[in-house]
Chain A
Amino acid sequence: MLAENHIISSCIIERGTVFKDGSMLFENKEVDLAEFLLSVYQHFQLNYPKFYKMDNLSKLGWLASEVLLKDSFQKDQYQPEVVGLVLANRNSSLDNDFKYFESAKEIASPSLFVYTLPNIVIGEICIRNNFKGEHGFYIQDQFDASFIVGQANYLLDNNILKACICGWVDVLVQDYKATLYLVEKKSTDSSKPFSIKNINSIFETI
């Protein structure tokens, strides 16, 4: 019998709101996605100039990871090689691909081109936090809790990772949703068991 893994924290960014561990921390509903993402960045007083270069998918995932990890994760307790990510979405990097495709009609933009892959969002989170563990990005029709739980448990139960950030980061034009979970092998007072039922119920919070 394998030891159970635990959801240490969760973050949802959807429909103009930011939730952490079930509580709403920020709301800004009357603006478009780009403006909303910038307002989240400003609200949480993040200081990371590279944010401005990112495409919307990376901005969304990166912001969710910042909120997820703040006050909930002590990265010093782990080697960089044992912290990894498993993410999925429905629309790959299509949101940025469209913008790149438009730019290519005139002069193809190098800064858009380098975001024409969905797993770049993982790279941005890893570069920010110096995470160097295994990571994977999957394209799926809809959020598949059992798949995410299976992948993350495999990495944790085989001691490939000690901490895994997993979940869903999806953007297409003005439709967007990020739900991230920080999963570790140890429990805390406020952690929940890392189960299909629990991650589905967090995913459906909003």
Chain B
Amino acid sequence: MGSSVYIAGAGVISGIGNNVAEHLRAFEQEEAGMDAITMLNTIHKGELPVAEVKLSNEELAVMTGLSPNTSRTALLSLVAAREALDDAAVPNFKTLRTGFVSANTVGGMDKSEDFFVDFLEDNNKGKLRNVFDHECGSKTEIVADKLGISDYMTTISTACSSSANAIFYGARLIKNDLLDVVIAGGTDALTKFTLNGFNTLMILDKQLCKPFDEHREGLNLGEGAGYLVLVSEKVAQTLTKPVYCILSGYNNSNDAYHQTASSPDGTGSYLAMKGALEKSGLKPSDIDYINLHGTGTPNNDSAEGTAVKRLFDPHYPPMSSTKSYTGHTLGASGGIEAVFSVLAIKHGIIYPNLRFETQMSELPFQPETRFLKGQQIDHVMSNSFGFGGNCTSLIFSRA
């Protein structure tokens, strides 16, 4: 295995902002992105809060140069991936071996839903262009073309750990000297498909979510995209500005317990966190901040909290769920929260866990509720746990 993997750029779009600067402002001002549904055409309007990106498809099309008929999944992806690439400003980018590893779970479902409205009425109707790009990989290709990346591209879809796994995989491509630069992360747009699915599972909170609170009632869905630019040591030396940090540890483990729920003792999450620590050569006490998966469902927070307790007790680092701002952006969440993690190291900040009131009875710790600046943060753990028990932890460390 080769050298370290350096983080050279970051880009993000979510319900709290359309770029990194807007996110930092929203965090400091403690402005959550959840609100009544305005964009998504659903019977749940006014009933379930979601964190929508505050731009229409037409506005996103103007920003990106893509057609307004493009799936919102790809539109969001291009905004964040391009911000990350511009931020990294890798010299001689065109001459390097470059890759785009992008995760998503809904693909072009938003457009397919439009198609079926007409098609179900009359199966001679419905615009076929709306289903042409249904497949998840299609989103990656649309965005890679726009970014000018043709050496390597692939799509990862492992539920809510998708884009953490994309970063993990991108890092391995660099470590094994297959690529020099990888833009890795993920994207997901809100769709009826996901909103109805999570509603069926009865894990949506009708109020704003309260991760890691004793009285949490479920998650709020969000949408967005987040990407990091990963570069090899050789490329890092050519950069004209400092890197954010390195990706020092990563691990994926599986609960093998239930289709959607985590095992009560958080076996998968424990193994993922422990494995990532081992990979990085760090001790639990070295971690300065944990960006929790923290969906706000009774099951996740209890399982994740139990796993954190097992690994970190009795010395708990500050931790919080930024889903209290962005909602749960599903396949994008690992990428978005990886961006928050590298920003925490760069700016010395810890994000508050909004709306936390009551400590969970089974846990001896509580999340950080204040926005903290001027912190010395050298190592950040970011958790992303998905349906099917697919659990991933990433660790970012000061370079």
> How many B residues are at the interface, by size bracket?
10 to 19
Within 8 A of B (CB), among A108-163: 108-110, 113-115, 117, 120, 123, 126-127, 130, 132
**Chain B 230-262 interface residues, beta-carbon cutoff 8 Å to A:** 254, 256-260
With known contacts A120-B259, A123-B259, A123-B388, A110–B254 Cβ distance under 8 A = no
Cβ-closest chain B residue relative to A53:
B258
- Assess whether A34 is interfacial by the CB under 8 Å rule: no
Please give the distance in Å from A66's CB to the nearest CB on chain B.
18
Other-chain contact of A108, B199, B256, B258 (Cβ < 8 Å): B199
> Which of B196, B201, B256, B257 is the one whose CB lies under 8 Å from A110?
B201
The reply to whether A110 and B200 contact each other, CB–CB distance below 8 Å, is yes
A104 interface residue, CB < 8 Å from B?
yes
Closest chain-A Cβ to B217's Cβ sits at a distance in Å of 15
**Is B46's beta carbon under 8 Å from chain A?**
no
In the complex, the answer to whether A132 meets B254 with C-beta atoms within 8 Å is yes
Cβ contact within 8 Å between A113 and B197: yes
Which chain A residue has the least Cβ–Cβ distance from B202?
Answer: A110
Given B199, B201, B256, which contacts A127 in the complex, CB threshold below 8 Å?
B256
Do the beta carbons of A114 and B256 come within 8 Å of each other? no
Are B259 and A114 closer than 8 Å at their CB atoms? Answer: yes
Contacts of B256 in A (CB 8 A): 123, 126-127, 130, 132
Q: List residues of B (253-297) whose CB comes within 8 Å of A's CBs.
A: 254, 256-260
CA distance A104 to B197 in the complex (A): 11
Which residues of the partner chain B approach A104 to less than 8 Å between Cβ atoms? 200
A127 touches B257 (CB 8 A): yes
**Nearest chain-B residue to A115 (Cβ)?**
B259
Q: Please give 17 more A-B residue pairs, beta carbons under 8 A apart, in addition to A108-B199, A114-B201, A123-B256.
A: A108-B196, A109-B200, A110-B200, A110-B201, A110-B202, A113-B200, A113-B201, A114-B258, A114-B259, A114-B260, A115-B259, A120-B259, A123-B259, A123-B388, A127-B256, A132-B254, A132-B256
